[in-house]
Amino acid sequence: MSNKNNKLPQPQIWPPSEVETIKTNSHYLRGTLEQSLNDEATGAIAADDTQLIKFHGSYQQTDRDLDDERKRQKLEPLYSFMIRARVPAGVASAKQWLALDGLADEFGNHTLKLTTRQAFQLHGVIKKNLRQTMKGINDALLDSIAACGDVNRNVMSTSNEALSPVVGELADFAKNISEHLLPKTTAYHEIWLNKKLVNGGVVDEEPIYGKTYLPRKFKIAIAVPPYNDTDVFANDIGLIAIVEDNELKGYNIAAGGGMGKTYGMPETYPRLADVIGYIPKEEALQVVEEIVKIQRDFGNRENRKLARLKYTLDRIGSDQFIELLNSRLGFKLEKTRPYQFDSNGDVFGWKKADNGNWFLGLHIEHGRVQDTSKLRLKEALREVAKLDVCDFRLTGNQGLVLGNIDSRSKLKIQELLSRYAAGQAQDLSGLRKHAVACVALNTCTMAFAEAERYLPDLVTKLEVLLEQNGLSQEDILIRMTGCPNGCGRPFLGEIGLVGRAPGRYNLYLGAGFAGDRLNTLYKEMVGEEEILQSLEPLFDQYAKDRNQNERFGDFIVRTGLVEPSQSVSVIN
């Protein structure tokens, strides 16, 4: 929708939501966190502080499996905290991997979670151990600042340097964006590290965010065609690298993506970002900052469910948004350059980069690094890290790339991983290789249904149907989340399952394999039996009637099984 008025839109005064008031009164994200952490009478923190601690990279959670029993025993819920370590572009050293592995054992639930935003999550940290855990993360030269909250989150970028010679440069730019958009408050260092910092004589100032930060979370991703492994169109800002003769020239800018919606509120919706123009790489950081500032000034601060940039862009109108951006920049975005994405999944196995180093793409089921009776994955990766011959690169699909490996070290790593049978994807079905699930139950407070704990079993049953139709090796994107907030980007799954109630999901079909088309609601409130009964004839039909090289989602749309949903729009 376009605003035909020649005047540029003006910021609106919003009656502040409760969270806006909390931020305003927080003294730059301090609130009463110190007092909450020192209160030994409860495992929880004060209600207002549960909002503020997000900016510091943590969420308060409970073990929902135990809630009813603890209530019967007249005990408070079993509170714990998730901590998210910010890792721009997902690149961590072997020493950092070992540090987080150790923190998970000492203070967490003995697992590491690799997220869909290329960050690490530690789960099960109790309040009295929060400071020690935060300090341990910082001692490893990582941090959790702005990993959550109403600020720019972890900046994503294609992490496998064997896919393109510019990946290293893109990772450096992701780090630059992340540092540039970090909150400048010294509250984090004071509360978690017991350090009093002074910024140029001013205790606190937020030149980009202002006192109330952004209206909602903000996400940025970079990808280099033909690999859309960061799902750039699901982000508030997507940067599509334009490469000529192996040299990065600039970026197509996409704006207004976001996956979340709210049941019962049709005015909320998932949305893919619009491609609004091209910029040379030297101007990219300025453009990113100005889009963030537009969201700061124009975003809805009254209703958080309508506060993401996608709603701001739709309310202003695409043309007016571009005009407003150009006016703030002092120059115009150029016309979009040609590009083509082929997939949004990970690339597995050994690949050699132009610099001669090797990169190994590993499958980590739903990003959960743990030891089980069947697979000692955490131990295997710990032993790899102890070799100190590679770095560890998280992907946007909860996977892992071991990077910068010389030929001699390649043999050592291969032998070690083979001994543990860890991370190898060659024997997995195409469906399992591309399955993504959010944490959901038992710890996520927003989940209505299972996801990570259930999807592996569902995939096993779906694999039987695929095998019957000769489709076991067909790459199909399946994504499951416990709620519609979209952390696992379910609306970009060729098969999407979104939790409605325990054991019940909305089934979506027909997304594009390259992440450039949303899926469409097919059936509501279905359980496992209905899911299998619904997909079995579709797999049969796909096996018999598909065109050559036709993807499952494209087949579903072409044959009219669902109406096509939103695809990426090129506005400029």
Instruction: Give the per-residue pLDDT at 203.
Output: 62
Instruction: Give the per-residue pLDDT at 210.
Output: 95
Tell me the C-alpha to C-alpha distance, in Å, between residue 104 and each of 81, 123, 436, 546: 12, 8, 22, 46
Q: Which residues touch 473 (CB under 8 Å, ≥6 apart)?
A: 429, 430
* Alpha helix positions (H), 354-489: 377-387, 407-420, 430-433, 455-468
Instruction: Give the per-residue pLDDT at 6.
Output: 61
Task: Identify which of 344, 121, 332 has the alpha carbon closest to the alpha carbon of residue 221.
Answer: 344
Instruction: Give the per-residue pLDDT at 424.
Output: 83
Beta strands in 471-516 (DSSP E): 478-481, 495-501, 504-509
CB 499 within 8 A of CB 454: no
Q: Which domains are assigned to the chain?
A: 18-329 (3.30.413.10), 349-420 (3.90.480.10), 438-558 (3.30.413.10)
Rg, the chain, Cα only? 23
What DSSP state is assigned to residue 281?
G
Where the chain has pLDDT below 50, the residues are 1-4, 201
Q: State the number of CA atoms in the 13 A half-sphere of 446 facing the CB.
A: 15
Q: State the number of CA atoms in the 13 A half-sphere of 504 facing the CB.
A: 7
144-154 b/e (C-beta count within 10 Å ≥ 16 → b): bbbbbbbbbbb
* Alpha helix positions (H), 284-366: 284-298, 309-316, 318-329
pTM assigned to the model: 0.96
- Helix (H) / strand (E) containing 520: strand 520-526
Can you tell me the distance from the alpha carbon of 431 to that of 456, in angstroms, rounded to the nearest whole number?
Answer: 10
Instruction: Give the per-residue pLDDT at 3.
Output: 46
Active site residues: 84, 153, 217, 219, 438, 444, 483, 487
